Amino acid sequence: MEKPRVAVIGSGSIGLLLYAYLKLANWPALLVTNRPEQADHLNKEGLTFVAKSGEHQPISVTATPLSSFYAEEAEVGFITVKSFAVKALLPQLQRKKWDGLVFFQNGMTHLEILRQIPARAICCGIVEIGAKRESDVRVQHTGDGTIWIGDMVGDSKNFDPMWACLHNVGLKAQKVTNWRDKMERKLIANAAINPLTGLFRVKNGALIENQLFSLLLKELVKEACVTLGREREVDEHLAYTRAICDKTANNLSSMYMDLTHHRRTEIESITGYLIKEAAKKGIEIPNTSFVYHAVMGMDEEGRKVRMG
Amino acid sequence: MEKPRVAVIGSGSIGLLLYAYLKLANWPALLVTNRPEQADHLNKEGLTFVAKSGEHQPISVTATPLSSFYAEEAEVGFITVKSFAVKALLPQLQRKKWDGLVFFQNGMTHLEILRQIPARAICCGIVEIGAKRESDVRVQHTGDGTIWIGDMVGDSKNFDPMWACLHNVGLKAQKVTNWRDKMERKLIANAAINPLTGLFRVKNGALIENQLFSLLLKELVKEACVTLGREREVDEHLAYTRAICDKTANNLSSMYMDLTHHRRTEIESITGYLIKEAAKKGIEIPNTSFVYHAVMGMDEEGRKVRMG
């Protein structure tokens, strides 16, 4: 059987990393960027992949801007755009029936619309590894960990050889049956770490080193657990969240970076999901609610800056 | 009767402004600074006073550092240091019985310790005007408004001529009987405006222009009202607070400035006062509690930066 061609849509850190590993595994892949300049740049210069060891490797790239991308060019799609950008992709994703689509977004709000896309299999990719885009044409695999793959719609066993190939070249990708569990676990951690580091403009480590921030971290984890019906697991999720802060102590979270650079944050798909769930269940989550409005408000300020 | 000599202790914006007006009124006054360099600088260069009209006026200064100040040098003390610094002044203030002391702090936590100071009269000065220290030797009277004077201990009618003199040269200073009411009104506004502008790094105006920040402003005003037993007055206090944001739309709050410059904030005397009151009464104030821990945590981060 021929290898299905993969279109990696989105060229942020995860998109570039996945593309690099696909090419290292000799898998046919096309990179779809949002900005035409980035596609040009990548086609001309290729991509520099920096492994965890620090070793550099040049990767030749076939890139195309989203505006001239045809769904017919691939059988499988890896969707790595930010969660709030998924909706805008729908018309292009609905042009044909895909063999498989894998969604790599933070948060959970995008799950609602996935069923509108025709595909034999739709998976989630839960990224528990570190990747850093150092420039438009350079990406680093910064941290150990695993990408968990869950079947959300249909059955993706046809693509098991693909994951095995990626695994062989160093990207730990693993199928998981309890994907919602894994996704919620990541959501809980993100809902605590991201808004706090963004609001306080601190590195992830400060949330466990600073006693007062630590207290707020705990409150947010607790409220997220209650919202998701996991109140019995608070200690476990707090330990998981604190372990992330510890492991990534010197990192600046994506929300920190987005706020600093006046870019739109993912607050809606992370904390916003909890706000909606809590409202449905009539649960009060005051700390989560505070950071939701705070970051939404800062997003709004950022928009004003962007608009000049 | 001879004019009682006034020692203005503290040389921030309010200290410099009061000192300038005392000298404009030809009142004998001594300026007590924390840093010896500032006293030197002021003694040599004098103070430049910028009126609301923009007009400049040179003021000759007699300044002394706190370390070499003798309480015997004055009959009246204007205490303009930050609220958290009042405690450290106690030994010096307790050296003699003052004719009168006026305390100009934000917040209300310092009230507890005032009764430990021997004085015929102790007043509060509630500052509802704008002043800006542009440098160690330059202060501007930026905004209209009044300084309200309330008798907290004893009777200060002996000093009515002093207030009248200040009034004559352009500083609206007015006696008030319901000083606790005025103080709480200012506390409520400060407890909302200060932490939010500090956390979000925005000008005061953003708290009414940005719908999401505006919502949080309202929550904080509401919680402060409930804490102080003023739940029926929420609308009134919200209107007052919003009016301040409007009038000072382009200003950066003191807490914003303190956080930006890694200086200790007044969170403890403003929001901390509400936290203690709410705890006594068993009232939950989650939004106030969030900003309290957040700003306390940021203070802690600032301390780390200061310590290198």
Are B216 and A286 in contact (CB < 8 Å)?
no
CATH number at residue A114: 3.40.50.720
pLDDT value of position A115: 86
> Within the 164-223 window of chain B, which residues sit less than 8 Å (CB to CB) from chain A?
199-200, 202, 206, 210-213, 215-216
Contacts of A191 (CB under 8 A, 6+ apart): A220, A224, A270, A271, A274, A288
Among chain A residues, the shortest Cα distance to B206 is held by A301
Let me know whether B170 and B257 are in one domain: no
Q: Put residue B286 in one of left, alpha, beta given phi > 0 → left and psi -120 to 50 → alpha.
A: alpha
Are B212 and A286 in contact (CB < 8 Å)?
no
Res. B49: pLDDT tops 70? yes
**Chain A residues inside the 8 Å CB shell of B297:** 200, 210-213, 216
Domain count for chain A, please give it.
2
Whether the ipTM is more than 0.95: the answer is: no
Are B297 and A213 in contact (CB < 8 Å)?
yes
Q: Look at residues A5, A60, A8, A3 and name the one whose alpha carbon lies nearest to residue A31.
A: A8
Q: Does B303 touch chain A (CB under 8 A)?
A: no
Domain boundary among A134, A151, A177: A177
**Chain B residues inside the 8 Å CB shell of A290:** 216, 286-287, 290-291
Let me know whether A96 and A167 are in one domain: yes
Q: Is residue B204 part of a domain?
A: yes
Q: Does A43 touch chain B (CB under 8 A)?
A: no
Let me know whether A52 and A138 are in one domain: yes
pLDDT value of position B1: 58
Residue B143 pLDDT grade (very low, low, confident, very high; cuts 50, 70, 90):
confident
Domain boundary among A177, A209, A238: A177
Let me know whether B210 and B129 are in one domain: no
Q: Is residue B239 part of a domain?
A: yes
Let me know whether B211 and B253 are in one domain: yes
Q: How far apart are CA A190 and CA A271, in angstroms?
A: 8
Q: Is residue A239 part of a domain?
A: yes
Task: Measure CA A257 to chain center.
Answer: 15
Q: Does A240 touch chain B (CB under 8 A)?
A: no
Among chain B residues, the shortest Cα distance to A299 is held by B212
Question: What's the gap in Å between the CA of A233 and the closest CA on chain B?
Answer: 23
CATH number at residue A281: 1.10.1040.10
Res. B75: pLDDT tops 70? yes
Contacts 24+ apart (CB under 8 A), B1-5: B3/B27, B3/B28, B3/B162, B4/B74, B4/B75, B4/B76, B4/B99, B4/B100, B4/B158, B4/B159, B4/B162, B5/B29, B5/B30, B5/B73, B5/B74, B5/B75, B5/B76
Average pLDDT of B259-283?
96
Question: What's the gap in Å between the CA of A259 and the closest CA on chain B?
Answer: 10
For helices B179-200 and B286-306, give the axis angle rounded to 10 degrees: 60
Let me know whether A105 and A194 are in one domain: no
For chain B, the distance separating the N- and C-terminal CA atoms, rounded to the nearest angstrom, is 53
Let me know whether A173 and A186 are in one domain: no
Nearest-by-Cβ selection for A286 from B199, B213, B286: B286
Q: What is the mean pLDDT of each run of 10 residues along chain A (308 residues)?
A: 91 96 96 96 97 93 94 94 94 93 94 91 94 95 92 92 94 95 97 98 98 98 98 98 95 94 95 98 98 97 88
Burial of B177 by CB count in 10 Å (0-12 exposed, 13-18 middle, 19+ buried)?
exposed
Residues of chain B with pLDDT > 90, as a percent, come to 91
**Chain A residues inside the 8 Å CB shell of B293:** 212-213, 215-216
Q: Is residue A198 part of a domain?
A: yes
pLDDT value of position A100: 96
Q: Does A72 touch chain B (CB under 8 A)?
A: no
Q: Does B71 touch chain A (CB under 8 A)?
A: no
Residue B306 pLDDT grade (very low, low, confident, very high; cuts 50, 70, 90):
confident
Let me know whether B18 and B162 are in one domain: yes
Contact yes or no for A292/A285 (Cβ under 8 A): no
Let me know whether A86 and A225 are in one domain: no
Nearest-by-Cβ selection for A210 from B199, B286, B300: B300
pLDDT value of position A178: 94
Question: What's the gap in Å between the CA of B18 and the closest CA on chain A?
Answer: 35
Q: Is residue A1 part of a domain?
A: no
Q: What is the mean pLDDT of chain B?
A: 95
Q: How far apart are CA B170 and CA B175, in angstroms?
A: 16
pLDDT tens profile B181-204: 999 999 999 999 999 999 999 999
**Chain B residues inside the 8 Å CB shell of A287:** 286, 290
Question: For residue B101, which amino acid is it?
Answer: L
Can you read off the two tokens belonging to residue B240? 């007052």
Res. B112: pLDDT tops 90? no
pLDDT value of position B61: 97
pLDDT value of position B228: 98
Q: What is the rounded radius of gyration, in angstroms, for the C-alpha atoms of chain B?
A: 19
Let me know whether B200 and B169 are in one domain: no
Let me know whether A99 and A225 are in one domain: no
Q: Is residue B308 part of a domain?
A: no
Identify the residue among B196, B210, B299 best suited for mutation to test binding to A, counting A beta carbons within 10 A and taking the highest: B210
pLDDT value of position A22: 97
Domain boundary among A177, A193, A222: A177
Q: Is residue B1 part of a domain?
A: no
pLDDT value of position B104: 97
Q: Does A290 touch chain B (CB under 8 A)?
A: yes
Q: Is residue B140 part of a domain?
A: yes
Query: Which residue in the block uniquely carries the two structure tokens 């006054």?
Result: B29
Question: What's the gap in Å between the CA of B256 and the closest CA on chain A?
Answer: 12
Let me know whether B270 and B186 are in one domain: yes
pLDDT value of position B17: 97
pLDDT value of position B124: 96
Domain containing A236 equals 182-302
